[in-house]
Structure 1
Amino acid sequence: MLVKSLLGEFEFEAENTRKLLQAIPDSALNFKPSDKSWTTGQLASHIAEVYNWYQPTLHQDVFDMSTYKYDKGDISKASNIVAKFEENVKAARKALESATDESMSKNWKMTMGSDEPVFPEMPRAQVVRGFLFNHLYHHRGEMVIYLRSTGNKPPGIYGPTFEESQR
């Protein structure tokens, strides 16, 4: 039942993520709100990449980020980022569909080249909610700001946008 519930949220939110990534024009890809920020293209690539973390999160007890190979792909065009998202979301769906409710209660940890966890070890279900789902929602919120800052319109994710409601 737990995996089925997570899968329902996954499907709903993947569609929202898709709409957001599809709203990014190529002209906004190099925008950076500050020197310390990612460009729009880098942020969009990261959003697409989070879906690549499902398999190791759901099917490994330890995820060593020091050995992880980040594959941002070609971020020179927004359509390339959307294509990478589609590839990653398909693999994420498969990883989630093959998870079990029993596996969700097992502890999981992330490391960075040693046995020491990056953050406290916790049940996999908590990791899915925090590390995968909520992490993604946080970055989507940033992307809405990036789109507005470049004069572009974000799509409505949980109903009409402010701009749509003012019509």
Structure 2
Amino acid sequence: MKSIVLDQPRRKLALSFEGFEPDRQEELDNAVALLLPFAPAWLTRFQFERGKDGGSILAVNVDREYRRATVWVHDRWFTLSAERRVNAMLHEWMHLYTIAVAEYALEAARRALGEDLPKLLAEIEAGLRERCEAATQDLADTIHDRLLREADR
């Protein structure tokens, strides 16, 4: 396991990496280093773990209460081009921003509707998920385009 603590004047962020071979760790380090400035200020612990092979490339779990997030990096991520790896990782990082809106809206809907209206609640949840996913990708694409422009200079 590899651990890094960034101790900056206004924040402290602990990064940890678990289960990666040295060559894959280097590829992951490159993507994380590029995207680190975009980590939200509330985040204090960011874990990267080797994911089990599945249908996804990356997956993220966010725990705002404890100010931490875990990203599972699946083997498929390492088969992508460097540009696609950064874009996919950036997409997951943007969930760190959009999750707060989704959690708030879903909790408000649950309080307003109660448990008596599960079908409507499921529709609202699906709509929120779809819109947050779209907003997340828009943010990722915007930042990724900016990074590419800066790299071309």
Same fold (TM over 0.5): no
Identify the structure with bigger relative contact order (alpha carbons < 8 Å, sequence gap 6+): 1
TM-score relative to the length of structure 2? 0.32
Greater strand share, 1 or 2?
2
TM-score relative to the length of structure 1? 0.30
